[in-house]
Every structure is written in structure tokens, then in C-alpha cells.
Amino acid sequence: MHKKTVVVHSGGMDSSLCLALAIKEFGADHVLSLSFDYSQRHNNEINAAKHICSAWGVDHAAVNLECLSALTADALTNSAQPISWGKEHAPSTLVVGRNGLMARLGAIHAHSLGADCIYMGVIEEEAREIGYRDCSKAYIELKQQILRLDLGNPLFEIRTPLIDMSKAETLQLAHSLGILDFLWENTVTCYNGVMKQGCGKCPACFLRNRGLEIAQKHLIK
């Protein structure tokens, strides 16, 4: 039986929440979690993705993209480069074209499985506040148009259910689904691979921990 959707799954909070939403719509048997090993600073997130998929009964596959580190220079593929970020420049953790490449490869695999969509946990807040250009809605819409041409499928979708949400709102969604505690315990969002509260210094930790603080005060009841 063909899979019905593919989730680009890093093992972080946002992509794991998307995995839960895909399971809710399609059923675990019809969802494939697809991770990418691009020589990131740690492999904790891929291990987290495997663990989450095992717990939720979802098939998981990992694609080797180690060549990416030879093609571009950034702090995610080169641990010797310090993590820096600020409004005056793009973050050193920006892997140029990463989301676009993962979307393309995920879509190609989805197409081969007879699926008409992929899920990605991108959030425009990350484009606006941190500088991740490939997290913007405009970027994803353009990528979707290209993929529809590539695949010969005018109905193909890049589903981004979190894209208009704040981090706090995504945590509230996880809470409403009854999986917030599980995701907090088992996902790796920190760029240094630290579980739960993370390193507290990288932009991923900043956004998630700020979102958790807001959600605990105002949203999660």
C-alpha cells in the first residue's frame, strides 16, 4: 500500500508536531518520517526522530546529505564556527537552501510513493525574527509551484500547518493534542543538541523557550 504523505522530520519540536498532525489525518500506517543527515553539529535530533517514530508507530527513513557541508559554510555543518545571530545579519546557523533542498527530495520521494503532499514544520516567525529566509511563506509558496512543475502534479502541496503561528501557539496546539509533555521530553530543538531547555544560547533555544514562557503564562490552561 502506498504511503499517503511524507513528513520532513528533524526530530525537533515543530517537525514532530507536524508528524502528529499528519498521523491524525492519514493514520500512522500511511505516514513516512524522512530525516536528513547533513553533517549537522550533532546527531541527537535524528536519534530523537527515530525514537519518536518508534513510539508513534511510524516508518522512518534517513537520507545522507553529508555533501552539503562541502558545498556551503555555516555553523550548523561546521562545529568550529561559532553560533551567532542578530538583526543586523543573517544567522551563522543559516544553511543556505536547506529547506528548499529537503522539500525537493521529500517531494520526489513522496511522488514515488503516490503521495500528493509533504509536511514541513517551518514557521514564518523564524524568517522574520532570526533571518531564516527559507522559512517564509513566500519561499514555500514559490517552492510549491516549482515542485508542481517538477512532479507534473498541479495539486501537490507543501503543507506547513504551523507557518502562521508563534512558537507559543505551536506549544498550545501540542498541549491541545495531549503531546506537549512527550515532545518536550523527546525532541531536540537546540542546535547544540541539548535536550529540554537546551543550551539557552542558540536562536532555536531562544524562540522555543520564549514561546514556552508565553504559553505557560497565557495559553496553556
* Per-residue model confidence (pLDDT) at position 134: 95
Dist. CA 107–CA 85, nearest whole Å: 30
What band does 72 get if pLDDT is binned at 50, 70 and 90? Answer: confident
Grid coordinates representing 142?
Answer: 514559490
What lies within 8 Å, CB to CB, of 29 at 6+ separation is 1, 57
Averaged pLDDT, 80-108? 88
CB 131 within 8 A of CB 90: yes
DSSP state for residue 136 in the 8-state scheme: S
What lies within 8 Å, CB to CB, of 183 at 6+ separation is 13, 16, 17, 174
Q: How many CA within 13 A on the CB side of residue 9? A: 31
pLDDT at residue 1 above 60? Answer: no
| Whole-number average pLDDT of the chain | 92
Considering only 23-27, 149-153, 199-203, which range has the smallest mean pLDDT?
199-203
Averaged pLDDT, 32-51? 91
* Per-residue model confidence (pLDDT) at position 3: 65
Beta-strand ranges (E) seen in 114-196 are 117-119, 157-159
Averaged pLDDT, 113-129? 96
Concatenate the DSSP letters of all residues of 38-51 into one string. Answer: S--S-SHHHHHHHH
pTM of whole model > 0.85? yes
